[in-house]
Amino acid sequence: MSVITIERKVLEKNDEVARQNRLLFAQHKIFAINVVSSPGAGKTSLLERTLEHFAGRVGVAVIEGDVQTDIDAQRVAKYNVPAVQIVTRGGCHLEANLVHDALQNFDLTNVRLLIIENVGNLVCPSNYDLGEAMKIVVASTTEGDDKPLKYPAMFRNSSVLIINKIDLLPYLNCNIGTLRANALRINPSLTVFETSCTTGAGIAEWANWLTARATSVNA
């Protein structure tokens, strides 16, 4: 019983800070997304290809979450966008207070889209609201087609599924139709994109959709 009580208090505190973040985003008309996946699914590569497509046309800021190092933030910074690295030092997910602190490093005046790349984990991040407008779950074809069934909470709490590394399908025991069907069985409302960061397939469709959503917030 005490464990349940402690967990509830932690989540309640997190949700209060997430509410403050959401109010800040609304005040500045920022569309914020929380990108989640297993380690190695290609979140950062997808982010790089997305930023290439934007080519400075959208005011973007990035918060990178990782257990150690600032390697991902260095990769993103090459695209001339403001980026802040959160190093959790073993923590398996980002929390709203960490995002709140990271936001102090940005001039939010010209930011229209905030991309939060969470720590690679499909369990804990599903329970933590960061104040984002939506969660974007990235599933790699290299992980197989049963990932949604194994981690249903993440797919249930996400608004978008990006099936990444589709260029590798000929070499894998993964049925993309089964992967899509399993995800939609968990969450029929998912918007689904299929992408390859190697060939560029699907990147324009995803980036254009994201731009439209960010633009609608600022209309």
Residue 140 structure tokens: 């790699």
In order along its 219 residues, the chain shows pLDDT tens digits of 444 454 567 789 999 999 999 999 999 999 999 999 999 999 999 999 999 999 878 899 999 998 777 777 788 888 999 999 998 877 788 999 999 999 999 999 999 999 999 999 999 899 899 999 999 999 999 999 999 999 999 999 999 999 999 999 999 999 999 999 999 999 999 999 999 999 999 999 999 999 999 988 765
Are the C-beta atoms of residues 160 and 168 closer than 8 Å to each other?
no
Are the C-beta atoms of residues 120 and 38 closer than 8 Å to each other?
yes
The CATH number, out of the four listed (3.40.1410.10, 3.50.30.60, 1.20.272.10, 3.40.50.300), of the domain defined by the range 2-217: 3.40.50.300
Rg, the chain, Cα only: 17
Q: What is the pLDDT of residue 66?
A: 84
Domain locations in the chain as residue ranges = 2-217
Residue 111 structure tokens: 């930011």
Which ranges constitute the DSSP H helices of 29-62? 43-54
Q: Which of 126, 166, 129, 117 lies closest to 150, judged by CA?
A: 126
DSSP string covering 116-175:
EE--S-SSGGGG---S-SEEEEEEEGGG-S-HHHHSHHHHHS-SEEEEE-GGGGGGSS--
Q: What is the pLDDT of residue 190?
A: 98
Are the C-beta atoms of residues 62 and 99 closer than 8 Å to each other?
no
Q: What is the pLDDT of residue 76?
A: 84
Q: What is the pLDDT of residue 3?
A: 45
Say what the pTM is. Answer: 0.92
Are the C-beta atoms of residues 155 and 161 closer than 8 Å to each other?
yes
Residue 187 structure tokens: 């969450």
Across the beta sheet with 60-66, what order do the strands follow? 83-87, 60-66, 113-117, 31-37, 134-140, 160-164, 191-194
Please count the other Cβ atoms lying within 10 Å of the Cβ belonging to residue 23. 11
Are the C-beta atoms of residues 148 and 186 closer than 8 Å to each other?
yes
Residue 122 structure tokens: 């499909």
DSSP string covering 77-106:
HTTS--EEEEE-TT-SS--HHHHHHHHTTS
